[in-house]
Structure 1
Amino acid sequence: MEEQTIFDIIHSMDKVTNKLIIQWNKLFEEDLGVSHILILGHLKAKGRSRPSDIAKALGLTPPSLTHLSEKLVQRELIIRIIDESDRRIIYLDITDKGTEILKRADQEGQILRKNLFEKLTDEERLRLLEIYKKLSDL
């Protein structure tokens, strides 16, 4: 068996990721990307949060989070909340409309996951997830 180089591995991972993103964009017709959904998911799970904390948790730069959150605010999927004790501090929180979009995204994501990973056994999917988590913790 031919030895895989790091570049072969990265290329294969990129191909799968790009395929997922393309299929996601075709399936979910809300003009929202994966990063938008991740922000909504974070807010749903953690509650109102400071943008810097969200950026850190999701591995985004603060400017990227600002750009992404602006679209979510404009679409009324999240709101900005000013801290009453320190008006310099701003929090983001998910709205009911954002929760509904997140619910739909989860449903569509399940369809995408089924279509993409149906070639793998349950054990292979679990192992793949474990591998990605391990690599992301480096």
Structure 2
Amino acid sequence: MEKTNIFQLINAIEQLNNGNIVLFTRKFSYPLGISPILVLAELKNKGPRKQIELAELVGLTKGALTNISTKLVDLSLVERLYEEEDRRTIRLKVTEKGLAALEEAQAIGNEIYTELFEAFSEEELNEYLRLQNKLIRSRLTNWA
């Protein structure tokens, strides 16, 4: 059996991820990718946040989060809250429309997840998740 190299593994993972992202963006009614959905989820779960806090929570650069927040504000999915004592301090807050968009995204995500993993038996799925988590845990120290 030919030894699989790191580039083959990365390519296989990228193909799977890219295919799922394309499928998601085709089904989702907003012109958004995965990162803005993660931002909406953080705002829903943790309440209004400064952009720098969101960038750290989601693992994005400040510049990327600035672009995402502008897009989310333009789509009325989040609003900017200015603090009265210091108008330079701005927090982002998810709107009702943003909550509805997040709900739609989660429904599509669940649908894609179900379609993707229906190829696995329950036992295979548990083993796949166990192996993924093992890889993640072993790499966390190297990613930091």
The CA distance in 1 between the partners of 2:45 and 2:133, in whole Å, is 21
Task: Show the counterpart of 1:99.
Answer: 99
Instruction: Describe the SS at the equivalent of 2:8.
Output: helix
Task: Show the counterpart of 2:8.
Answer: 8
Larger deviation: 126-135 or 108-117? 126-135
Q: Structure 2: where are the runs of 5+ without partners?
A: none
Check conservation: 1:41, 1:102, Cα contact below 8 A.
yes
Change (3 A) 1:136 1:51: farther
Task: Show the counterpart of 2:44.
Answer: 44
Q: Let me know the Cα RMSD of the aligned residues.
A: 1.8
Counterpart AA for 1:40: L
Task: Show the counterpart of 1:27.
Answer: 27
The answer as to 2:133 corresponding to 1:130 is: yes
Q: Following superposition of structure 1 onto structure 2, how do residues 46-125 of structure 1 map, counting pairs within 5 Å?
A: 46-120=46-120, 121=122, 122-125=125-128
**Which of the pair has more CA radius of gyration?**
2
Check conservation: 1:117, 1:125, Cα contact below 8 A.
no
The CA distance in 1 between the partners of 2:115 and 2:24, in whole Å, is 11
Counterpart AA for 1:74: D
Report the Cα offset of residue 103 of structure 1: 0.8
Normalization by structure 1: what TM-score? 0.89
- Once the two structures are superposed, residues 12-41 of structure 1 have per-residue CA deviations (whole angstroms, 9 ceiling, x without a partner) of 111111111111112213222111111101
The CA distance in 1 between the partners of 2:6 and 2:44, in whole Å, is 36
The CA distance in 1 between the partners of 2:135 and 2:101, in whole Å, is 26
The CA distance in 1 between the partners of 2:104 and 2:4, in whole Å, is 39
Change (3 A) 1:119 1:128: farther
